Structure 1
Amino acid sequence: MSSATAVAAKRTGRRGDERLAWIFITPSLLGFAVFLLWPTLRGIYLSFTSFNLLTPEKWVGLDNYERMVNDPIFRDSLRTTVYYVVLNVGAQTVVALFIAVLVQRLTRSALLRGMVLTPYLVSNVVAGIVWLWLLDTRFGIGNQLIGALGFEHVAFFGSEKWVIPTLALVNVWRHVGYTALLLFAGLQMIPATMYEAGRIDGANEWRMFWRISMPLLRPVLSLVLIMSIIGSFQVFDSVSVTTGGGPANASNVLQMYIYSTAFSRFQFGYASALSVALLLVLGLITFVQYRLTRAGETDLD
């Protein structure tokens, strides 16, 4: 076979592979366009309109965004959401990192890993309802134990002071196993020779954790933090089934406010503006965090 014929055959094979690749990814692209791209573009457009489903949308320009800047409920919802995110991400990351290190250093049992991941298989709605029962002020087993120890019962979901920490810890309980599994996978990528060299140099486990595990785990930890922060800002279902935003709007997180604005007050234009603001906040946080943590780089090279 001549070189020209070989080149032509190679190009034909490459075009055939490209066509096959497009056949496989086309359904995903269609789903992305129909269920994500188009709703996003439509929502951005509606954020510049006044729309309530009963009448055609009316272009109002930046009026919705001006209203949002001067909306005290929006500011309170944003502060509540940030408070929830800090508690949730902070506690979840620390506990998950502790579990991941224990699993890596002490055991390789697949059964134990499965047990750690079990709460993640429970939906947010089910987890919220179960914990609402367990922490009920009068009849919940949690308050029964508190009462047995001689303390006053705590209104975990009914107190302005405790509602956000309680929601954050319920979310930590559900997601910590999945987060720990991701961090465990990152720890598995660190060569064992690194730890062997540390032991030869006389380093203890604590010193190897800070000098070896944490620096080399940085890319995976950065990804986990980005995912956790985005997911925490979008909290809705667990709040909806437990408190509905109460008491006294103490758990009225941003997603809850967007939902009530759209489907209780039928102010879809303003709700779209709130959604766009949340999108911009998450995009900015992700960009800054990605750059500061150098998530796309690794020290294993």
Structure 2
Amino acid sequence: MTTRNSVATTAPPAPAAPAVPAAAGPPRRGRDDRRIAWLFLLPVLAGFAVFYLYPTVQGVWYSVTDYSLLNTPSFVGADNYAELVSDAQFWNSLKVTAEYVVINIGSQTLLALGLAALMHRLTRSVVVRATLLLPWLVPNVTVGLLWMWLLDANLGFVNHLTGALGLDNRGYLTSPTWAMPSVALINTWAYTGYTALLLYAGMLQIPPHLYESAALDGAGELRMFRRITLPLLRPILALVLVVSLIGSFQIFDTVAVTTKGGPVGATRVIYFYIYQQAFTYFHMGYAAAAAMVLVAILGLLTAVQMRLLRASRSDLT
């Protein structure tokens, strides 16, 4: 009897079926923080509306009315603007203001650039920076009174100093020739330190390796300033010039304290002229029209300045 040995074979396991991913749901949206942002912006927007937007709208309305604080505003259309065109004192105040702006911004920017470059390349002392900022911290009225005494024709220290050098005494704030340059240089003294710190902060953003490479190539400090510092400082310089331009057109307190617009209108800047029309002669509508013209001039000059300086572009990459 023949027996057969049967061999049991085990079948290989069937491959596992690939896992089927769960059906993807709709993409989750990030949290919308716009409502919270508007909530935090609400106090600022409220302050802007109350202290800027409303006075601006009211000023535009007053500029087309006849208003003197003693009567109800009456609409006169463009009469105030037409009167401004033929007002010699208005045009003289713009001319005087332009003279002030040129002297003040020119001297202030040049001095501030020099001081910032010296701090950046030679010393970064906190004491030096604090000392430069001190004149800016003094109120403008105090600065005006201080320099009015220093420039006095009889008792002023400046005339005593020039007299010791053999020069004649000069009425810096009483001479039609010297009054406006003196006022402009007073504010240059007060604001140069603050402007220098702004420019110095911009210079700190310039990579040091650029100066190191230029020095290895034999470039001197003056050439590095012209070829590296000035081009890379353009956005900060544009900001400083725009802010200085607007601030220079708003000069008032130094003139009110030292010269009161004199002598013979040599320092009657546009802000002081508007103040006189509004609060000395009570021509509120006329003063508002002059203020609106000043706003338009500042907007135009700012746009041109930003365009020429290409403030939105930087050579720093």
Q: Distance in 2 between matches of 1:183 and 1:84?
A: 22
Say if 1:268 and 1:202 are closer, same or farther in 2 by CA, change over 3 A: same
1:170-226, Cα deviation, whole Å (9 max, x unpaired): 101110011000100111111111111111211111111111111111111111111
Query: 1:94 & 1:3 partners in 2: Cα distance?
Result: 65
Equivalent residue for 1:130? 146
In the alignment, the residues of structure 1 paired with residue 233 and residue 104 of structure 2 have an alpha-carbon distance, to the nearest angstrom, of 21
Aligned residue in 2 for 1:69: 85
CA spacing shift, 1:4–1:20, aligned 2, 3 Å: farther
Q: Distance in 1 between matches of 2:85 and 2:224?
A: 48
Q: Distance in 2 between matches of 1:21 and 1:4?
A: 29
1:115 partnered with 2:131: yes
Describe the shift of the 1:114–1:4 C-alpha distance in structure 2 as closer, same or farther (beyond 3 A). Answer: farther
Cα distance in 2 between the residues matched to 1:176 and 1:21? 37
Structure 2 stretches lacking a partner, 5+ long: 1-22
Q: Deviations over 1:53-91 (max 9, x none)?
A: 111111111111110010000111000000000000000
CA deviation profile, 1:10-62 (whole Å, cap 9, x unmatched): 3xx32xx3232222211111111001111011101111111111111111111
Aligned to 1:233: 249
- Unpaired runs of 5+ residues, structure 1, are none
Counterpart mapping for 1:1-301 below 5 A:
7-8=28-29, 10=30, 13-14=31-32, 17-301=33-317
Q: Equivalent residue of 1:34, what SS?
A: helix
Bigger-Rg structure (1/2)? 2
**What is the SS of the residue equivalent to 1:248?**
coil
Which residue identity lines up with residue 89 of structure 2 in the other structure? I
Give 1:123 shift. Answer: 1.1
Distance in 2 separating the partners of 1:108 and 1:271: 47
Specify the code of the residue in structure 1 equivalent to 2:59: G
Q: Distance in 2 between matches of 1:259 and 1:285?
A: 22
SS in 2 for 1:214: helix
**Greater fraction helix:** 1
Partner amino acid for 2:251?
V
Partners of 2:189 and 2:39 lie apart in 1 by 41
Q: Aligned partners of 1:90 and 1:5: how far apart in 2?
A: 62
The TM-score, its normalising length taken from structure 2, stands at: 0.91
Q: How many residues matched?
A: 296
